[in-house]
Structure 1
Amino acid sequence: MSTLLGRLGGAAAARPWRTIAAWVLLIGAVLGLAQAFGGEPRDNYRIPGTPSTAGMDLLNERFPETSGTSARVVVHDRGGRALPAQALAALRGELAQVPHALSVSEPIPSRAGDTALLTVGYDVKVTAFKDAEGLDALRAAARATTDAGYQVEFGGELPENFSAPNGMAEAIGMGAALVILVVALGSVVAAGLPLLVALAGIGAGTGLITLLSAVTDISGIAPTVASMVGLGVGIDYALLLVARHVEGLRRGLDVRAAAAEANATAGSSVVVAGATVLVSLFGLKLAGLSTYASFGYATFATVGAVMLAALTLVPALAGLSGPRLLRRAERRARTAAPAAEHPAPAAEHRAPAAEHRAPAAEHRAPAAATRTERWARLVGRRPVAATVLSLVVLLGLAAPVLGMRTWPQDAGSQASGNTTRKAYDLVAEAYGPGANGPLLLAVDLERLPQAELPALAQKLTADPAVAAVQPPLVNAAGDAAVISLQPRTGPQDEATAKLLKRLRADGLPAGVQVTGQVAAFSDISDRLAQRLWVVVPFVVVLSLILLTVLFRAPVIAVKAAAMNLLSVAAAYGVMTAVFQHDAGARLLGLPHAVPVSSWVPILMFTILFGLSMDYEVFLLSRVREDWLATGDARGSVVRGLASTGRVISSAAAIMVAVFTGFAIDPDITVKMIGVGMAVAVLVDATVVRMVLVPATMTLLGRHNWWLPRWLDRLLPQLRIEHGDAPAPAPARQPVEV
């Protein structure tokens, strides 16, 4: 693999304009096809086999007039005065004229009379509306009412399904990434190169996602999550390649040879790390929800595009940049140095094995140790204490996860400035918190006689957790009915979930199903909680197999998986503390604590497990490269960490900056994912890679690379180290650190 990647890098650096032109044509073709044949993102929360889905299917079949989407229009007088009937009637007339409006309910006034609620029913699904056209039509219909001085807010399925695009998150992440790259690489040209590569990959990935939307359901926030991950990994992969390319230039290699060596070494790590991310994304398919599968499709396309861009565009752009990738002082020294000090062309293109042994020889030279190397030696002198301390920190951060409660996002979780959140608060104050999440009882009158409906309604009214029960509504055919039940508590309250479970367990006769948004959210939360324990083993086992095949070290693979699980658990714990226990929810634009979104745990796990493996692969590739050259088990850890510490720290800082930028996104799911992944990467790059990895590898010594003979015969020979150096002889003694 390293040979092929080296040839690819050398060819791209030798003919950079051809490579760049090919990418321009590729992006243009993909975006053109997307414009011509692409679809629109749409959420599909249907879960076959759940009670809420069965009830909704009954209503869609026998109440076709209710099968479309709906919207709530809330009118409020800020002065507390009663709303005039004439103004409400005029508003109702305007709402009836909006496109696809099938019906508009009579205004329902509050007890104080200063608030009124109208419901607009549509004859199409919510996915029929493109972008904000449905919400814009409602605002236009209510313009006369707002001009008269009344507050008008919008809620319900249609407004809540729209999320305004927010380019601020990407801008903040890219700005912070540029600053970090300039500090890490010391050159503006070198710093801008990873950003260009990441943007090229995201551009191609965006077009692919649009094309996928034409043939399958892609969630509305899936492109945002895919861009978040693609931007982070794209910059990281390009940074790793650029850093290795600059190392080659500093050793005297010409541009083409440095690009070939960077692709053969760091490029192999990029392929392994990217493959781990892609393999982890397959776990989303096991969640049993099409929305999760769409996250996997979108992120898979984007990560694949940025990985291809890194392996081809980085050497091409590096070939164009030439020595400008070096710091200014290094360029001056390179120019001023006499020709005799530069290696001859034959030496520049020496054999791969000689290139491979050069770094080890350089490390044995009496050069001043870097801060990372001194830190690695310090950890190596106290490996037991370092291991125990890091485990205590990780377990302490993960502790809040034991009390984590999940619930799908709804209007009550949105930021206070959002119109859906304002409508939610107005309804809760005027009609009670349960009015934001009524339970719908779908009744099959072929199984339950219509004469028993009054008794059923009376029984429901007597329940202390029920605030109100609307009279049964029977369809024209007389074979189905629907009863609306308003709980005393809000949709996110645990008491509402208990009421739902109690009704389903022993409170309803045969032929009655509880459905509606709250019931569907509860079913989604339960299903995802169950599926989490299917996805986790699947992703872990696949990652173990991949790492074992590539590094031929089962101990390393098991240890890497365990450490990644600790990083993910710590991210879960911090996210629970921030959002559920209100340790920082208000700082992120939320007015109060909210449960963790049900969409987040599985999605975060699959993405984070792959991202955590990135740093593991980057580090272990250099450690194994040194180990194969020297046979020094402990010294290779120190030298491997010293050679990658700066790059990994810079890459992690970029990831944290990118993910933190997405924490300001108005969508609660994106906000939680941004915070969780920023914490996970920060913990992984500090506590895990800088303390736990060197400590445990020091304790294990040569056992890190133990491989049973029977497994050695079964595993294919897939060396990712440049030069494919042979493993050291067993009799060789390690050098003590």
Structure 2
Amino acid sequence: MGAWSARHRKTAVFGWLIFVVLAVFLGGAAGTHQITNSEQQPGEVSRAATILDQAGIKSPSGETVLVQSSTLTADAPAFQQAVAQVVAAVNGTGQAADVRSPYDTKAISADRHSALVQFNLPGDKDAVSGKVTKTLDAVAGVQKANPSLRVEEFGEATADKWIQAQFSNDFASAEWTAVPLALGILLIAFGAVVAAVLPVGLALTAFMAATGLVALSSRFLHTSNDASSVMLLVGLAVGVDYCLFYLRREREERAAGRDAATALKVAAATSGRAVLVSGITVVVAMAGMFLTGIADFQAMSYATIVVVVTAVLGSLTVLPALLSMLGDRVDKGRLPFLHKLKAKDPASGSRVWNAILTPVLRRPLAATVLAAGVLLALAAPLLTMHTANLTFNQTLPKGNALVQTSERIEAAFPGSPSPAIVVVKAADLGSPAMRQALTDFQAQALATRKMHGPIDVTPYPQANVATIAVPLNGSGNDATSVAALDALRHQVIPDTLLKVPGTEAPVTGSTAGSHDFNAKMSSSMLPVFAFVVVFAFLLMLASFRSLAIAVTAVLLNLLSVGAAYGVLTLVFQHGVGASLLGTAGVGAVESWVPLFLFVILFGLSMDYHVFVVSRIKEAHDRGLPTKQAVAHGIRSTAGVVTSAAIIMVAVFAVFGTLSMQSMKQMGVGLAVAVLIDATIIRGVLLPSAMSLLGEANWYLPRWLNWLPNLEKELPAPPITPVAGPPAEPAEPSLAGARHRRIDA
């Protein structure tokens, strides 16, 4: 691929540009098809959404207006007047349906200082977004007219509107912050403007093309906002990394005296191969998420696979063509001071890495025990990890106005902000038996003392469907709420509604959604982990034809993921150091984050592992003993691995600064894992473990000799290198050694 691109430079470059433009244009023309409500959640929640969809019922968004006073009770004339103004104002918008006064529904708090005006906003999410703006304005007008009272609106539509707006703002902020960060780091790494711009430009065009491709195929596999966010996150990180690996090797070969064509061939056969193997590993790891059966995970998986494949394709085709076109002009726009820093022989490594590597190779056993001990200590909090679908209050920052309103409503009316919704599908909703069952249901629900009123029944006689809103005790995702949900599903509903033949009554709502999602996650965790680990092992085995390297790769990745889990639990669940990130411990980790982190980290960690071990094996195949090959491989890749890791950590850390708790957890988890992987794993544990194993690193059992050899013969090093910085004393034996292949 590299040789073809170098020979057909214009075809490769303009072909890439046409591909990107077509993908963006066709994707924009086709539009994006989002995941539907019935696809979004598993279990009973999915069945409830399907019943409503099949009946043609657009489940309305429930809204509430809190009227509250610290001095007046609901019986005071001024309080009653404010409630009447709210009812009139909401009705006056012409957008609301079923507006209910608290004096009719008894939605008055026990201390009688708070009351809820309840109403629905019919229509889909897009239509409701415009309607809720008008009701918010109407409620704000009532608040202005009654400054001595608190008059605030909160509900599903209000929360969705805020989250969508915040999501868009966060996404734009991440995009505008991450790109300049990556560019700045590359400027320091290369010391030249052109060399720094190339990886960022290719990463961005790969992301743009992938966005169009995902939109184009979203008719068949629906996508989501989470998928778009993850695609930017991963696409920018791997796109820059892949180009960095390739470009750095080409420049190194040119500095060693090779001609431009040979340098490109060597870069293609070494770094290009590492990029390909790494990309395949990420794709395989992400494919494991399809085993969850959860639509949002499948959307994130598919989007990540598309952007990684696109980034690999760009790195292996258009990048060699651009390097061939530019030649030495890739160093244009040199930054004098920084470029002087780059003049050093890359094989000698930096002072920092030499200072770390020397004692590690001198005492590999002590280094292995110490590094493994640190990682196990970091992973220890994992044993206390609690996962949950975070509530609205947990997802957003504590100081947020909507969160404060939600907390005030919950304090006065426990369970009301997120009641359980029972979707009843009957053979005949109007039959005497069904009417009696609905009456018995309400009585038994209240009798459990795990649920409370008001219980609202909304019938749809033409479809023989009804929805019942049942406020549950508890915060929504605590043990009290789960116990209430269990009583509702396995006690109240079977004893009442399901006694009528031909009746279904699945339960949905935020508590039910969180419970069903966690149950599905727990059941799919082991198959996903097994799939990813087994296929990563097989890929490493096929790539390096070594049993020890494949086993080591899997174990080291598991250690880095475990350490990231531990830090995530410590910060976001227990709150240790959370204030430094502008957040607080919320008592739980977002339920989808651990599985997502596992698959993506297992894929991304292979970037460095494949790149470093490929260099070590290359040195060993050219005649160096294993210990010297390890030293050479680590030193010669230290600069590029450090630069790549800093870029990834910076990009991921940007997501750690966003306001949404799930994005913050994902960004911090990825940043911590990559940082650990590029320092403790690649700088200490990998070289010490390979030094201890010695020649056993290259062991392949006889019965596996059938594995294909995927490596390409490298051109012999130049006999007379051009003038340049002196090489490390040990290097002539490597440069002058006869190039040979060790296959077994």
Per the normalisation by structure 2, the TM-score is 0.84
Q: Within 5 Å, give how 1:123-138 maps onto structure 2.
A: 123-124=123-124, 126=125, 133=130, 136=133
Structure 1 distance, partners of 2:661, 2:552, is: 34
**Letter of the aligned partner of 2:408 in structure 1?**
L
Matched position secondary structure for 1:648: helix
SS at match of 1:466: coil
Task: Say if 1:624 and 1:45 are closer, same or farther in 2 by CA, change over 3 A.
Answer: farther
| Equivalent residues of 1:550, 1:720 under 8 A apart | no
Q: Equivalent residue for 1:181?
A: 186
Amino acid across the alignment from 2:164: S
Residue 515 of structure 1, CA deviation: 2.8
Q: What one-letter code is carried by the residue in structure 1 that aligns with 2:266?
A: E
Contact (CA 8 Å) 2:187, 2:193: kept in 1 or not? yes
Alignment of 1:217-232 (within 5 A): 217-232=222-237
> In the alignment, is the contact (CA less than 8 A) between 1:489 and 1:495 conserved in 2?
yes
Q: Deviation at 1:232?
A: 0.6
Between 254-263 and 668-677, the greater mean CA deviation after superposition: 254-263
User: Alpha carbons of 1:332 and 1:373: their partners in 2 closer, same or farther (altered >3 Å)?
Assistant: closer
Does residue 1:718 correspond to 2:710, yes or no?
yes
Asked whether 1:210 is paired with 2:215, we answer yes
CA 1:267–1:330: 2 relative to 1, 3 Å: farther
Measured in 2, the distance between the counterparts of 1:259 and 1:304 equals 21
| Alignment partner of 1:279 is 2:284 | yes
Residues 1:672 and 2:690 are matched in the alignment: no
Aligned partners of 2:619 and 2:702: how far apart in 1?
23
Is the Cα contact below 8 Å between 2:19 and 2:209 reproduced in 1?
yes
CA 253–59 in structure 1, closer or farther in 2 if over 3 Å, else same: closer
Aligned to 1:495: 480
Amino acid at match of 1:70: S
Q: How far apart, CA to CA, are the structure 2 residues paired with 1:484 and 1:453?
A: 12
Q: Give a deviation string over 1:613-657, Cα, whole Å, max 9, x none.
A: 111101111011111111511211111011111111111111000
Corresponding residue SS for 2:421: strand
What residue number does 1:155 align with? Answer: 155
Query: Number of paired residues?
Result: 684
Offset at 1:20? 3.4
1:287-306 equivalences in 2 (<5 Å): 287-306=292-311
Q: In the aligned structure 2, how far is the partner of 1:331 from the partner of 1:157?
A: 52
> What 5-or-longer segments of structure 2 have no aligned partner?
73-78, 499-504, 717-738
- Structure 1 residue 463 corresponds to structure 2 residue 444: no
- Shift in alpha-carbon separation, 1:259–1:526, aligned structure 2, 3 A: same
Q: Deviations along 1:438-477, whole A, 9 cap, x unmatched? A: 1233456669754354444333323343343526555537
Secondary structure (helix, strand or coil) at the match of 1:96 reads coil
Map of 2:730 onto structure 1 = none
Moved more, 528-537 or 368-377: 368-377
- Going from structure 1 to structure 2, the CA distance change for 1:196 and 1:145 (only over 3 Å counts) comes to farther
Matched-pair contact (CA < 8 Å) for 1:70–1:158: no
Residue in 1 that maps onto 2:720: none
Cα distance, 1:152–1:710 mapped onto 2, change above 3 Å: same
Change (3 A) 1:310 1:478: closer
Distance 1:400 1:300, change over 3 A: same
Q: Which position in structure 2 is the counterpart of 1:639?
A: 632
Tell me the equivalent position of 1:440.
421
Q: 1:160 to 1:685 in 2, by over 3 A?
A: same
**Structure 1 equivalent of residue 741 of structure 2:** 727
Q: 1:346-367 CA deviation, whole Å, 9 max, x = no partner?
A: xxxxxxxxxxxxx9xx97xxx7
Paired letter, 1:210: A
* CA distance 1:281–1:49, shift in 2 (3 Å): closer
Give the aligned residue type for 2:122: Y
Q: Match of 1:415, as an amino acid? A: P
Partner residue in 2 for 1:74: 65
Decide whether the 8 Å contact of 1:457 with 1:469 is kept in 2. Answer: no
Partner of 2:391: 410
Q: Report the 3-state secondary structure (helix = DSSP H, G, I; strand = E; otherwise coil) of the residue aligned with 1:625.
A: helix
Question: Residues of 1 paired with 2:488 and 2:558: CA distance?
Answer: 38
1:558 maps to 2:554: no
Per-residue CA deviation, residues 110-139 of structure 1 (Å, 9 max, x unaligned), is 545566443323244x3x559x65655555
Report the equivalent of 1:11: 7
- Contact conserved, 1:659 with 1:674, CA < 8 A, in 2? yes
Check the 8 A contact 2:379/2:565 in 1, yes or no: yes
Deviates more, 1:647-656 or 1:28-37: 28-37
For structure 1, the residue ranges without an aligned partner over 5 or more in a row are 334-358, 731-737
The 3 A distance-change label for structure 1 pair 41 and 478 is closer
- 1:728 and 1:515, CA in 2 relative to 1: closer, same or farther beyond 3 A? closer
2:32 corresponding residue in structure 1? 39
Q: Distance in 2 between matches of 1:33 and 1:80?
A: 61
Cα deviation, 1:382-432, whole Å, max 9, x if unaligned, reads: 111111111111111111111211112331222246565344223213322
Residues 288-345 of structure 1 show CA distances to partners (whole Å, capped at 9, x for unaligned) of 1111111111111111112222223333443454434446679999xxxxxxxxxxxx
Q: Which moved more, 1:78-87 or 1:407-416?
A: 78-87
CA contact (8 A) 1:225 1:670 kept: no
Is 1:497–1:522's contact at 8 Å kept on the other side of the alignment? yes
Residue 616 of structure 1: which of 609, 621, 638 is its match? 609
The change in CA–CA distance for 1:665 and 1:633 in structure 2 (over 3 A counts) is: same
Pick which of 486-495 and 156-165 moved more. 156-165
Match of residue 349 from structure 1 = none
Matching of residues 327-342 of structure 1 within 5 Å: none
Bigger drift between 715-724 and 389-398 goes to 715-724
Structure 1 residues 443 and 315: CA distance shift in structure 2, 3 A: closer
Paired residues for 1:584-603 under 5 Å = 584-590=577-583, 593-603=586-596
Tell me the CA shift for residue 61 of structure 1: 5.9
- Tell me the residue number matched to 2:436: 451
Contact 1:197–1:306 under 8 Å retained in 2: yes
Match of 2:205? 200
- Comparing 136-145 with 581-590, greater Cα deviation is found at 136-145
Shift of 1:169: 1.6
Aligned in 2, Cα 1:239/1:134: closer, same or farther, shift over 3 Å? farther
Q: Percent identity?
A: 32
Name whichever of 476-485 and 280-289 sits farther off. 476-485
AA aligned opposite 1:211: L
Decide whether the 8 Å contact of 1:269 with 1:617 is kept in 2.
yes
Residue 657 of structure 1 pairs with residue 650 of structure 2? yes
Return the letter of the residue paired with 1:411: F
C-alpha contact 1:436 1:490 (8 A) present in aligned 2: no
SS of residue in 2 equivalent to 1:484 = strand
Residue type at the aligned position of 2:63:
R
Letter in 2 for 1:399: A
Pairwise CA RMSD of aligned residues?
A: 3.3
**C-alpha distance in structure 2 between counterparts of 1:503 and 1:375, whole Å:** 60
Structure 2: which amino acid aligns with 1:209? Answer: V
Q: What SS is found at the alignment partner of 1:163? A: helix
- 1:387/1:692 contact within 8 Å kept: yes
Distance 1:47 1:28 in 2: 31
